[in-house]
Amino acid sequence: MIKKCCPPPIERDQVKKKEISVSVLQNTSSTGYRHHENMIEMAGGEFLMGTADPESFIEDGEGPVRPVQLKPFYIDRYAVTNAQFQEFILETGYITDAERYGWSFVFHLFVSDEMKRSIQNVVQQTPWWYQVDGACWKHPEGRDSSIVNRMEHPVVHVSWNDAQAYCSWSGKRLLTEAEWEYAARGGLIQKKYPWGDILTPMGKHSCNIWQGVFPTLDLGNDGFIGTAPVDAYAPNHYGLYNMVGNVWEWCSDWFTNRHLGEEIVIDPKGPRTGDEKVIKGGSYLCHKSYCNRYRVAARSHNTVDSSTGHMGFRCAADL
């Protein structure tokens, strides 16, 4: 059985979608990419993507291990923060999918008992997700919550559409899955995590995941229950922070669990079409007992208008 702890399958098509005019959101900066100072140049070249790790989820399409070649690109050092996303919203007036629909998925530990009693819609396969009215990027736990003390945390409750709109405004783009995995590996070959094969080297926590008993007790031994600031923990060898844990990150590729093996692939961009987009890196909700997807080869997927309290993104750009 696939342990689908993470992004709940969202059925929002009961709400008529408005066309989003991304054309009005084109980059208005005369200096090029926004927040370019926080981007790092990746040299590109060949690397081994995917894994044959016995811990991997075969049904997710984590394998086979395959050679991939990439051209150089820029990548954000950190996930996009609440502060950056607010800048985008203030300049453009953009309305996120969660705001248009009027709700988003919030993890049960962040929903008050009083609020739970009034919520009818709980995801059956993953009952720890509550459909909370008013939950959105600036109210992560519902209308009465705020991001005031979390401006340097990753923005969440953003759909793939929202991430695309932000990228368009900032003159950037989402990473392909291959770029994401190349960057996350930090130059290490076929290691489990961005820093090596040991989850807590010398007993030290290196990413924001779940400790305790999922989904009821998060001990927060890594310092955080819920999101952490985007610069928490040490970066990988490429200088990138929180490539695994903290929040899932949207990629540009449509999802498939079938890949070509052996033949080297150059700048893969995923299938031409699909139903769901790839997400990478796992989140603060991942635990070895259930959703061991905070490994660099791990992957999951969700629909383009889905949003949750544990999905965000970072940007890339062409050189």
User: Residue 5 Cβ, how far from Ca ion at the closest point, in Å?
Assistant: 14
As a whole number of angstroms, the distance between CA 47 and CA 67 comes to 6
Question: Of 43 and 213, which CB lies nearer to Ca ion in the complex structure?
Answer: 213
Based on its alpha-carbon atoms, the radius of gyration of the chain, rounded to whole angstroms, reads 18
As a whole number of angstroms, the distance between CA 90 and CA 163 comes to 16
User: Residue 288 Cβ, how far from Ca ion at the closest point, in Å?
Assistant: 13
As a whole number of angstroms, the distance between CA 279 and CA 70 comes to 19
User: Residue 233 Cβ, how far from Ca ion at the closest point, in Å?
Assistant: 11
Question: Of 214 and 313, which CB lies nearer to Ca ion in the complex structure?
Answer: 214
User: Residue 318 Cβ, how far from Ca ion at the closest point, in Å?
Assistant: 34
What residues make contact with Ca ion under the rule CB under 5 A?
Answer: 208, 222, 224, 284
Q: H/E element holding 169?
A: helix 160-170
User: Residue 205 Cβ, how far from Ca ion at the closest point, in Å?
Assistant: 8
Phi-psi region of 130 (alpha: psi -120 to 50; beta: other; left: phi over 0): beta
Q: Which residues contact 41 (CB under 8 A, 6 or more apart)?
A: 72, 73, 74, 319
User: Residue 157 Cβ, how far from Ca ion at the closest point, in Å?
Assistant: 19
CA angle 66, 68, 73 (to 5 degrees): 150
Question: Of 150 and 172, which CB lies nearer to Ca ion in the complex structure?
Answer: 150
As a whole number of angstroms, the distance between CA 226 and CA 110 comes to 9
User: Residue 206 Cβ, how far from Ca ion at the closest point, in Å?
Assistant: 12
Q: How many CB atoms lie under 10 A from the CB of residue 62?
A: 23
Question: Of 238 and 284, which CB lies nearer to Ca ion in the complex structure?
Answer: 284
As a whole number of angstroms, the distance between CA 67 and CA 83 comes to 37
Q: How many CB atoms lie under 10 A from the CB of residue 125?
A: 10
Q: H/E element holding 181?
A: helix 177-185
Question: Of 56 and 208, which CB lies nearer to Ca ion in the complex structure?
Answer: 208
As a whole number of angstroms, the distance between CA 312 and CA 154 comes to 6
User: Residue 284 Cβ, how far from Ca ion at the closest point, in Å?
Assistant: 5
Question: Of 141 and 222, which CB lies nearer to Ca ion in the complex structure?
Answer: 222
Question: Of 176 and 208, which CB lies nearer to Ca ion in the complex structure?
Answer: 208
Rounded alpha-carbon distances, angstroms, from residue 21 to 25, 115, 173: 8, 34, 17
Question: Of 169 and 294, which CB lies nearer to Ca ion in the complex structure?
Answer: 294
